[in-house]
Amino acid sequence: MRTFLAALALVVAAGGAQADPKPSDALMMQRVLKRIEQDNRECNVGMSYAGRIAAGGGPSSARFDGALVLIYSVDGCNGGNNWGYTAQVYGVKDDTAVEIGKPQSWLIVKGADFNDKRAVIYAVSQGPGDAHCCPTEGKSVEVTVSNGQAVFRQIKAWHNSN
């Protein structure tokens, strides 16, 4: 696990799947990932995408310096064949990260883009009649922060055939 955290720090520092993180973002992401791993002790947790977005206007700007969006996979809980991806948003102020809003989950996340104001997640979920292995309902989901809360909004949908 320490190797994974070190690798995550290198990916963040190199700007891999991230949006120009501040120097402290890599450390903050490691701390948050440790919390996520503790909350999912019986599972395998893997970071897929992460980046910083703006905290939004109004009260959010005073409350947070920015927001971290972490997209991670969780699988093998209690030795089972269960898996999925979750996106969580954390408001960041100084040396503290606070979860803001309810996390969102999908069966598969195919990618994510970050810019200063938002993240866009490309996810696939089960459609009517889909087997667990083979989801067909794709969507693009925009992630922003407004009034101190994470906002997830579907901006595009499509259907893949199996």
pLDDT tens, residue by residue, 105-144 = 999 999 999 998 999 999 999 888 888 788 899 999 999 9
SS3 category, 67: strand
Q: pLDDT, tens digit, for every residue of 29-51?
A: 999 999 999 999 989 999 999 99
SS3 category, 75: strand
- Flag whether the pTM goes above 0.85: no
Residue 141, number of CB atoms within 10 A of its CB = 20
CA 47 to CA 39: how far, in whole Å? 14
Could you give phi then psi for residue 77, rounded to 5 degrees?
-60, 130
SS3 category, 20: coil
What separation in angstroms does the CA of 152 have from each of 69, 89, 93, 122, 136?
11, 10, 21, 12, 20
